[in-house]
């Protein structure tokens, strides 16, 4: 999503996110954060050998709502998990290239996402992380709403992804992505909303969510903040429908840079996918039950 450079007071922001591939090519407890961080660390000697958990797919792989599997620190919370893009987008140019209004300007309904140099797709990475994340959140008592329930469908459009979280009245929402930045750059970035009218009420809370996610992800995965996107791992964005149109606290996370060799080794690892998911879960828990 290479668009334009824009300025905000004090610093200049260079806009980057996962590369667009045109198919015509989610009451505090005082120790919540530390509790979540402890539970978020998987045993390195027991990597997930069987792949991510499975979930029943809705018709056509559409959105789904999943109840908690246990009681925990997230009892009563609703979290929107949005695995970016979709595996069927590659074969549906007439659908994903349709123009929509993102709250400020037109953009395409969806994109194909990026991939590693070896061809491992962002859609699959996003999907696997979302499955691990959903399981972690449900185990802590959260109800999870997914914007898609398979990796073989098309879309939904980015406007619909925002609407799903809004209609669920999610307490927090996160869109899971990986970036397609310069091969020499690596690291993760949190993309936060900029006030545009519709989302005015959630910008400040989204910034808190972004800070909690940044801290938890850096601590939980060891991945550095991006060397090329944003400042200290935070990038304000005004060109993404998913956050422009959100009425619930929401951010995007670009977990790594897929064209970078070191990051490519991570995003293709089931163990690191699970680690990334648990770090995101810890950040969400910090936001949802922490005292801000």
Q: Which residues are catalytic?
A: 254
Listed residue (136, 170, 160, 118) closest to 42, CA to CA: 136
Any residues with CB less than 8 A from the CB of 222 and at least 6 apart, and which? none
Any residues with CB less than 8 A from the CB of 253 and at least 6 apart, and which? 174, 175, 176, 177, 188, 189, 190, 191, 213, 217, 280
């Amino acid at each position: 999503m290479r668009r334009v450079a824009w300025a905000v007071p004090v610093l200049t922001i260079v806009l980057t996110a996962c590369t667009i591939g045109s198919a015509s090519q989610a009451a505090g407890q005082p120790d919540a954060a530390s509790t979540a961080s402890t539970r978020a660390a998987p045993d390195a000697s027991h990597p997930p050998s069987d792949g991510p958990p499975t979930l029943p797919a809705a018709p056509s792989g559409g959105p789904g709502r999943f109840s908690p599997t246990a009681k925990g620190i997230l009892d009563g919370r609703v979290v929107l998990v949005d695995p970016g893009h979709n595996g069927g987008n590659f074969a549906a140019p007439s659908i994903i290239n349709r123009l929509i209004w993102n709250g400020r300007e037109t953009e395409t309904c969806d994109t194909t996402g990026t991939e590693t140099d070896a061809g491992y797709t962002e859609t699959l990475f996003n999907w696997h992380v979302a499955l691990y994340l959903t399981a972690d959140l449900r185990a802590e008592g959260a109800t999870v709403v997914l914007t898609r329930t398979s990796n073989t469908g098309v879309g939904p459009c980015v406007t619909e992804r925002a609407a799903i979280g809004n209609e669920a009245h999610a307490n927090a929402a996160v869109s899971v992505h990986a970036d397609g930045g310069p091969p020499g750059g690596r690291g993760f970035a949190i993309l936060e909303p900029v006030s545009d009218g519709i989302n005015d009420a959630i910008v400040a809370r989204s910034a808190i969510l972004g800070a909690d996610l940044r801290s938890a992800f850096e601590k939980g995965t060891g991945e550095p903040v991006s060397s090329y996107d944003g400042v200290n791992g935070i990038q304000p964005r005004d060109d993404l429908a998913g956050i422009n149109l959100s009425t619930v606290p929401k951010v995007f996370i670009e977990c790594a840079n897929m064209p970078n060799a070191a990051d490519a080794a991570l995003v293709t690892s089931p163990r690191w996918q699970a680690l990334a998911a648990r770090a995101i879960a810890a950040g969400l828990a910090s936001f949802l039950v922490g005292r801000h």
